[in-house]
């Protein structure tokens, strides 16, 4: 089987070619592979790779020598003196680290490029271009049968990869660096044989390295961000943000950066970037700068520029990189990046199905605006793009049509580095072999069409079983388009168009493909790919909790073929390691087993039915309102099959997952747990006998450890909002501050312009109301116990959380931390 050779004639991508006549491959049997004696390791390895691939593609074993045996019939690998002395020869001094040239003459061939990777990449390009070789997976290289390619053109080509940093973030690349090199992913190995990694590093969160609260928090709290009138030191995401306009902070960061560069003189960039939280500084100086610039990036970029100026003086070849992420993604009004600053935009808010520059996708418009604004003021932009479902690594993820257009959009907007994040901390994720191939090919050669690459991969990798898999992928993408969906990188099954009918079709396509497979190798490839279909049936098909005799179960609506058992079998057979970004597959499979038989307790009255899982942190999995027949808890929305719950979580000082002992007395569930240090946790869930519409919660942690310890509680309900509308006139959130205030206008995920209203409220009331469905919930609490109420609202999941956090409290032995609140049904919005 011979596939068409892709001939790319793109000025943008720096391909150049001239041709005159052809070289007869059959007559190359007496040629010699020549690599200079003083060649670097990657050039010697390139000669070995040429030898191996030529044997496979042409059926000939060419010898390798350090000097040419004659003036003709040589394949020169690398920029040796012998190569430069022939008519096929050329210089590589202008080719940087990775650019390549191939010159094919009638009597000699020369393949060479910049050091350290250009020559090796030239060899791979040679076999892809002229012999139709395709590096599909680490254990499957497609090579047409010997003799399929009779001749190759006499021509000269040059290629300069447009992105100097390329990372298809799959663990398969990290575990098989030789394969990563074949895909030209230049970020995973220091092995000199493979050309090492690019000397530029991923731009990432970094300020925590130099401004650590353990070192400066007590002596210099003014170094850290002022938020809500406090210098908060207990912040997640790597720690508190610094006060970026504080002159001492700028000095400390600059000194730390210079010391790191002095210790690593080979580095060509360094990150000076925010930590992973949104608690940026609101002090008078930072706030004034941010208001003038229209974005919190104003103050942050001021810090970055100040550090970059000092770096420029001592390390003129080094770039300073910073994230344009979350609250810093928007470019400032007047401040421009210093010439040696790299800006890395993160597309985490974007739709993953549509191309980022698709004008019909409302979710992507703001990112396009931000990208174009940065392009106008910065000529070294990087992108952090998202290519997986971080909640379900193995759920169908329809983004294969958008990969190519996205990469070309990046190229057209001054992007020099591309981090395509996928399930890089796990193996065997959804179509990971296919997507890794498509991503890697596109970021090496952006002119390629990603859907054409999908078809190429499937026909070569799945062979006779390819068509049903292509039909499945077509259906998956067409289904999302027809439903008008805009999934992000944390989508639910519903957000990617999955329901019982679609998941059944998906499994049928894979069953058909498996029936067509004619070899064990193809059968195994199809089985591995089919894991996503079984996961889809599980996630989209889990029914409601069923309670009987102290046990609850969640049955699969369409389990007639042992879907769960088959899923478990395939996960083990193909070495899946992670179910989601943070959940190992073993933990997920254990949860799947537990939902078939989990100990439970239940209380009810004429208004409510509550079902609790004591051994699963006392989660409520059933909050059923009898008069309306409404289930108040959200459907499962994460890889965690025990989500869609209401529980109190220990956010600090306490393991978030406890196995409680449970006692039921009348209308009260008492959950108790004694910790290893003797501390006790008691949680009571009761139906108020005097006010049967109320559910009362009371959690108490009493510390008995030998030394003081800090703790914090969080009430975490996941309510079913019963609407996918993002309109606050449909689903409204309220906070009580003397009177009830509706505050969720313009809310986006966990942030919104009226957040200050929420944070300032001390009235002890928190509510939501769906005006179309005419129901809601009211949470009443003691404002002296609650450090802050917190709204999490995600319309695509039809989920709304009214969360309560206690302040972080240091308890001495014998002291307690309490969180008490009550919930009631709302038939009308709060007045």
Distances (CA, A) of 320 to 167, 414, 529, 828: 19, 16, 41, 55
DSSP sequence for 327-385: GG-SPPSS----TTEEEEEE-TTS-SSS-TT-TT-GGGHHHHHHHHHHHTT-S-EEEEE
* 750, pLDDT greater than 80: no
Q: What average pLDDT does range 512-516 have in this prediction?
A: 98
Q: Is 216 found in the same domain as 110?
A: no
Q: Is 211 found in the same domain as 126?
A: no
CB 554 within 8 A of CB 641: yes
CB 457 within 8 A of CB 438: yes
Asked whether residue 641 is assigned to any structural domain, the reply reads yes
* 10, pLDDT greater than 50: no
Q: Is 785 found in the same domain as 645?
A: yes
- pLDDT one-digit tens code per residue, 75-115: 999 999 999 999 999 999 889 999 999 999 999 999 999 99
Asked whether residue 292 is assigned to any structural domain, the reply reads yes
* 639, pLDDT greater than 70: no
- Give the separation between CA 431 and CA 533, rounded to whole angstroms: 11
- pLDDT one-digit tens code per residue, 181-228: 999 999 999 999 999 999 999 999 999 999 999 999 999 999 999 998
* 556, pLDDT greater than 80: no
Asked whether residue 170 is assigned to any structural domain, the reply reads no
Distances (CA, A) of 174 to 138, 168, 187, 441, 561: 11, 10, 9, 17, 36
* 714, pLDDT greater than 80: yes
- Give the separation between CA 131 and CA 148, rounded to whole angstroms: 8
- pLDDT one-digit tens code per residue, 456-478: 999 999 999 999 999 999 999 99
- Give the separation between CA 225 and CA 244, rounded to whole angstroms: 8
Q: Is 781 found in the same domain as 686?
A: yes
Q: Is 796 found in the same domain as 675?
A: yes
Asked whether residue 756 is assigned to any structural domain, the reply reads yes
Q: How far is CA 815 from the centre of its chain?
A: 41
CATH code, domain with 112: 3.30.379.10
Asked whether residue 440 is assigned to any structural domain, the reply reads no
Q: Which residues contact 538 (CB under 8 A, 6 or more apart)?
A: 556, 563, 564, 567, 592
Closest CA to 479 of 453, 497, 493: 497
* 3, pLDDT greater than 80: no
* 17, pLDDT greater than 70: no
Distances (CA, A) of 84 to 76, 116, 136, 790: 9, 18, 34, 68
* Band (773; pLDDT cuts 50, 70, 90): very high
Q: What angle do CA 764, 822, 686 make, to 5 degrees?
A: 160
Q: What angle do CA 149, 155, 160 make, to 5 degrees?
A: 105
Q: What average pLDDT does range 618-626 have in this prediction?
A: 95
* Band (12; pLDDT cuts 50, 70, 90): very low
Q: Is 555 found in the same domain as 489?
A: yes
- pLDDT one-digit tens code per residue, 267-293: 999 999 999 998 999 999 999 999 999
* Band (13; pLDDT cuts 50, 70, 90): very low
- Give the separation between CA 610 and CA 623, rounded to whole angstroms: 5
Q: Is 608 found in the same domain as 756?
A: yes
Q: What average pLDDT does range 132-157 have in this prediction?
A: 97
Asked whether residue 806 is assigned to any structural domain, the reply reads yes
Give the pLDDT confidence score for residue 228 in this predicted structure.
Answer: 83
- Give the separation between CA 14 and CA 11, rounded to whole angstroms: 5
Closest CA to 151 of 70, 36, 57: 57
Domain boundary among 580, 598, 616: 598
Count the domains in the chain.
4
Q: Is 498 found in the same domain as 533?
A: yes
* Band (757; pLDDT cuts 50, 70, 90): confident
CB burial of residue 802 (10 Å; 0-12, 13-18, 19+): buried
Q: Is 485 found in the same domain as 628?
A: no
Give the pLDDT confidence score for residue 5 in this predicted structure.
Answer: 32
Closest CA to 793 of 638, 634, 649: 634
Asked whether residue 187 is assigned to any structural domain, the reply reads no
Domain boundary among 547, 572, 598: 598
- pLDDT one-digit tens code per residue, 246-261: 999 999 999 999 999 9
3-state secondary structure of 49: helix
Q: Which residues contact 711 (CB under 8 A, 6 or more apart)?
A: 650, 652, 653, 654, 701, 703, 808, 809, 810, 811, 817
Q: What average pLDDT does range 559-587 have in this prediction?
A: 91
CATH code, domain with 753: 2.70.98.10
Q: What average pLDDT does range 824-830 have in this prediction?
A: 96
Give the pLDDT confidence score for residue 759 in this predicted structure.
Answer: 83
Q: What angle do helix axes 466-483 and 520-541 make, rounded to 10 degrees?
A: 30
Asked whether residue 188 is assigned to any structural domain, the reply reads no
Q: Is 610 found in the same domain as 577?
A: no
Closest CA to 638 of 395, 352, 349: 395
Distances (CA, A) of 335 to 297, 374, 376, 414: 9, 11, 12, 18
Closest CA to 293 of 284, 281, 282, 302: 302
Give the pLDDT confidence score for residue 595 in this predicted structure.
Answer: 82
Q: Which residue range(s) make up the domain with 89?
A: 16-161
Q: Is 606 found in the same domain as 516?
A: no
CB 642 within 8 A of CB 591: yes
3-state secondary structure of 562: coil
Domain boundary among 272, 301, 318: 318
Q: Is 590 found in the same domain as 520?
A: yes
3-state secondary structure of 673: strand
Contacts 24+ apart (CB under 8 A), 542-545: 542/595, 542/636, 542/641, 544/622, 544/631, 545/600, 545/611, 545/621, 545/622
- What is the residue-averaged pLDDT of the chain? 93
- pLDDT one-digit tens code per residue, 388-438: 999 999 999 999 999 999 999 999 999 999 999 999 999 999 999 999 999
- pLDDT one-digit tens code per residue, 296-349: 999 999 999 999 999 999 999 999 999 999 999 999 999 999 999 999 999 999
């Amino acid at each position: 089987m011979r596939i068409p050779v892709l001939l790319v004639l793109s000025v943008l991508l720096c391909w150049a070619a001239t041709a005159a006549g052809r070289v007869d491959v059959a007559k190359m049997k007496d040629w010699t592979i020549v690599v200079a004696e003083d060649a670097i390791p990657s050039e010697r390895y390139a000669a070995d790779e040429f030898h191996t691939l030529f044997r496979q593609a042409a059926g000939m074993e060419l010898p390798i020598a350090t000097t040419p045996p004659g003036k003709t019939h040589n394949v020169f690998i690398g920029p040796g003196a012998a190569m430069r002395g022939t008519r096929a020869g050329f210089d590589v001094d202008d080719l940087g680290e990775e650019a390549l040239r191939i010159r094919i003459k009638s009597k000699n061939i020369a393949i060479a490029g910049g050091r350290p990777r250009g020559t090796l990449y030239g060899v791979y390009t040679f076999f892809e271009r002229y012999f139709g070789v395709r590096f599909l997976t680490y254990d499957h290289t497609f090579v047409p049968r010997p003799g399929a390619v009779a001749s190759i053109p006499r021509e000269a080509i040059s290629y300069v990869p447009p992105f100097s940093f390329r990372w298809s973030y799959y663990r398969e690349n990290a575990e098989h660096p030789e394969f990563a090199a074949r895909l030209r992913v230049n970020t995973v190995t220091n092995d000199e044989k493979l050309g090492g990694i690019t000397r530029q590093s991923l731009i990432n969160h970094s300020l925590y390295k130099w401004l650590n609260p353990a070192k400066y928090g007590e002596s210099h709290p003014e170094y850290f961000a002022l938020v809500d009138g406090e210098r908060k030191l207990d912040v997640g995401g790597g720690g508190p943000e610094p006060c970026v306009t504080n002159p001492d902070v700028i000095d400390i960061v600059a000194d730390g950066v210079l010391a790191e560069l002095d210790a690593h003189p080979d580095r060509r960039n360094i990150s000076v970037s925010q930590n992973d939280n949104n608690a940026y500084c609101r002090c008078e100086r930072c706030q004034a700068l941010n208001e003038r610039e229209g974005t919190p990036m104003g103050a942050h970029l001021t810090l970055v520029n100040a550090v970059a100026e000092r770096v420029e003086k001592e390390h003129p070849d080094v770039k300073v990189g910073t994230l344009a992420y979350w609250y810093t993604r928007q470019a400032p009004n007047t401040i421009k990046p210093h010439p040696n600053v790299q800006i890395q935009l993160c597309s985490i808010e974007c739709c993953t199905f549509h191309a980022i520059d698709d004008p019909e996708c409302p979710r992507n418009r703001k990112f396009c605006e931000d990208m174009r604004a940065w392009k106008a003021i910065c000529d070294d932009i990087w992108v952090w793009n998202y290519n997986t479902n971080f909640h379900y690594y193995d759920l169908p993820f329809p983004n294969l049509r958008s990969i190519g257009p996205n990469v070309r959009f990046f190229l057209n907007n001054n992007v020099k580095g591309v981090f395509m994040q996928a399930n890089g901390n796990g193996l065997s994720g959804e179509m990971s072999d296919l997507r890794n191939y498509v991503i890697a090919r596109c970021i090496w050669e952006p002119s390629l069409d990603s859907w054409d690459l999908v078809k190429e991969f499937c026909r070569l990798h799945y062979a006779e079983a390819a068509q049903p898999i292509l039909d499945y992928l077509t259906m998956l993408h067409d289904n999302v388009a027809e439903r008008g969906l805009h999934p992000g990188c944390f989508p639910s099954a519903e957000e990617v168009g999955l329901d019982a009918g679609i998941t059944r079709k998906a499994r049928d396509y894979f069953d058909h493909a498996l029936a067509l497979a004619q070899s064990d190798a193809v059968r195994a490839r199809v089985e591995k790919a089919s894991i996503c279909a079984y996961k889809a049936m599980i996630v989209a098909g889990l029914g409601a909790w069923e309670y009987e005799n102290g046990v609850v179960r969640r049955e699969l609506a369409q389990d007639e073929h042992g879907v769960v058992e088959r899923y478990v079998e395939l996960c083990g057979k193909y070495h899946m390691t992670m179910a989601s970004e943070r959940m190992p597959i073993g933990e997920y499979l254990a949860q799947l087993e537990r939902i078939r038989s989990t100990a439970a307790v239940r209380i009810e009255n004429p208004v409510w039915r509550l079902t609790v899982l004591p051994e699963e942190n006392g989660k409520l999995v059933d909050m059923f309102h009898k008069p309306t027949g409404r289930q108040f808890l959200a459907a499962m929305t994460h890889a965690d099959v025990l989500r869609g719950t209401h529980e109190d979580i220990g956010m600090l000082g306490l393991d978030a997952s406890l196995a409680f002992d449970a006692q039921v007395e009348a209308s009260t569930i008492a959950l108790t747990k004694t910790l290893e240090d003797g501390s006790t946790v008691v949680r009571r869930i009761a139906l108020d006998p005097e006010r049967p519409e109320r559910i009362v919660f009371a959690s108490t942690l009493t510390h008995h450890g030998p030394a003081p310890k800090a703790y914090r509680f969080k009430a975490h309900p996941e309510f079913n909002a019963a609407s996918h509308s993002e309109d606050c006139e449909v689903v409204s959130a309220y906070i009580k501050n003397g009177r009830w205030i509706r505050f969720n206008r313009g809310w986006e995920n966990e942030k919104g312009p009226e957040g200050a209203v929420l944070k300032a409220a001390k009235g002890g009331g928190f509510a939501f109301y769906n005006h179309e469905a005419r129901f809601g919930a009211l949470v009443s609490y003691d404002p002296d116990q609650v450090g802050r109420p917190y709204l999490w609202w995600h319309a695509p999941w039809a989920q709304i959380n009214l969360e309560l956090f206690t302040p972080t409290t240091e308890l001495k032995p014998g002291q307690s931390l309490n969180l008490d609140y009550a919930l009631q049904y709302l038939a009308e919005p709060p007045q």
